[in-house]
Amino acid sequence: MTATFLYVSLLCGSTSLCVYYFLPATWQLPLPPGPKPKFLSGNVHQLPRSQAWKVFKQWSETFNSPITFHRIFGRKFIVLNTLKAANDLLESRSNIYSDRPMACMYKELVNRGMAVFNVSSQHPRFKVYRRLLNTSLNPRAVERYDGILYDERLILLRGLATEPEAFTRHLRRVSGGVILKVAYGWTVNDIDDYFVDLMEQSFALSVEIMKPGRWLVDVFPILRFVPSWFPGAGFKRDAAVWREQMSELDRKPHAWAKEQIESGNYIDSFTSQHMRPEDGHEIDAEEEDIIKWCSAALYTGGADTTVSALSSFVLFMALHPDIQHRAQAEIDEVVGKNRLPTSADQVCLPYVSAVLKEVLRVAPVARLGLPHRVLREDEYLGYRIPRGSTVIANIWGITHDASLYPEPMTFNPDRFLATSDGPAQLDSSKIVFGYGRRICPGAHLAEVSMFLNVAGILATFNISKALDERGKEVEPLVEYTDGITSHPKPFKCCILPRSHENLAMLEIP
């Protein structure tokens, strides 16, 4: 008995020593702090159904750690709640933090794995996508789109002048109009445009498909091999329908653009530039597929995010008339009342630019960004980062970090202006467009587009709170939707021309 006990003790001890010396050193480190999980399901019961960004920030404060850990069954999640943590990992170690987590339902069953924002950083196309998009969306290249941006802005302002109560629809039209013309050369002529509606439907569908924890197949990927006729395999039948619906998003606009190019009657666009390369070589099927996915990335990545930012701008101007009037005074002084601001005016309109930066800080459009995946075991601040973990940058938490932005809940554009009392606070655009090799490739185009629309609206209209039937102001609620892109929930406001002189700039037919 004693000999057996001694043998077992020696065996266990030897095994422990082998584990200690031969497994990676990070395995000896503790995981980052986080709420206590259950044995099987992990922290599923503690995950919020809404406003996860606020809960993650609370966890960071509760555990006094810039990074936190939680688990959903076997999937591990690391949340980065400070700018330093996000930069240290997603920027400085981007070689191992630029992958995307596996999502069987969306990427495999619905067939969105090759989309620009979903493709693995290890796939050969990842670098090709980045090179193609950076070539066409760098600051110099974006200057080619000024005419499109000015034309679409004029249509927006005319729409607000004639039908101000439908301001959200006008914002969606201008966002879709810019992106569709830049990506495909498609002109949006109606507020209910077919491709804009197609884009809206795909956004809504994506939100439903990508809800965290909704699909068991994401937790247990082996379920993807279950036949669609099998009892309980309704998710596969749903996926087959959604795959066809989602494919229309990239297939139909590209097919239309290709048809126009072949006819010789087309508007210059991202698609035409790459389908008709300067060196005149014949585009093969692989190249065309790459162009198709990159155009779709412009289409899906640029429209919904711009709508969110512009909607937040309208909401905050209704809530802060003093800030609005100060921005309008700057435009009147620099630009005058006889023309609309241009992109060249931006450098002379620091307060208007600060308003936009503050909108993006207070209401970042992608509050948790897009998730990253770490490729190998890592260590940070003495904590173990397990290989394959999903890494989330809590962008909302970072833009509401009081050490970066004092009084973070206060809407204050002055924080972005240097004064004799101190330097300007960190430009929010350095935070809200993502990190490392996954930074938004269309960030510059988005910033230029948003500035022109914001400056144009300020130059032409006054935005105020809506009035009830007794003429009393109605306080709009500042509430936001969940999802990858967060929007203000529907609110009412009053949008009126500042003067006949300002309205004359629109040359309304």
**CB under 8 Å to 286, separation ≥6 — which residues?**
none
Three state DSSP letters for 29-86: CCCCCCCCCECCCECHHHCCCCCHHHHHHHHHHHCCCCEEEEEECCEEEEEECCHHHH
Alpha carbon of 415 to those of 57, 82, 197, 356, 426: distances in Å?
A: 22, 19, 38, 12, 9
Nearest to 142 by CA among 201, 182, 94: 182
Alpha carbons 409 and 407: distance in angstroms, whole number: 6
Determine the distance from the C-alpha atom of residue 445 to the mean position of all C-alpha atoms in its chain, rounded to a whole number. 14
Looking at residue 283, the DSSP 8-state letter turns out to be P
Burial 192-218 (b: 16+ CB within 10 A, else e): ebebbebbbebbebbeebbebeebebb
Q: Tell me if 90 sits within 8 A of 392, measured CB to CB.
A: no
DSSP state of 409: T
Of 206, 200, 159, the C-alpha closest to 179 is 200
* H helix or E strand, kind and range, residue 102: none
Q: How many CB atoms lie within 10 A of CB 125?
A: 17
Tokens of residue 306, six digits: 């711009």
Question: Whose CA is closest to 65, among 394, 439, 329?
Answer: 394
SS3 at position 106: helix
98, 437 Cβ separation under 8 angstroms: yes
Half-sphere exposure of residue 363, counting CA atoms within 13 Å on the CB side? 26
In this structure, are residues 460 and 502 in contact, taking their beta carbons and an 8 Å threshold?
yes
- Please name which of 415, 414, 382, 183 lies closest in space to residue 291, comparing C-alpha atoms: 183
DSSP-assigned beta bridge partners for residue 379: 384
Tokens of 469: 């039937």
State the sign of the Cα–Cα–Cα–Cα dihedral 51, 53, 56, 57: negative
Which among 44, 103, 123 has a CA at the least distance from the CA of 221? 103
Q: Is 440 annotated as a binding residue?
A: yes
User: Which residues define the annotated binding site for heme?
Assistant: 440
User: Which residues define the annotated binding site?
Assistant: 440
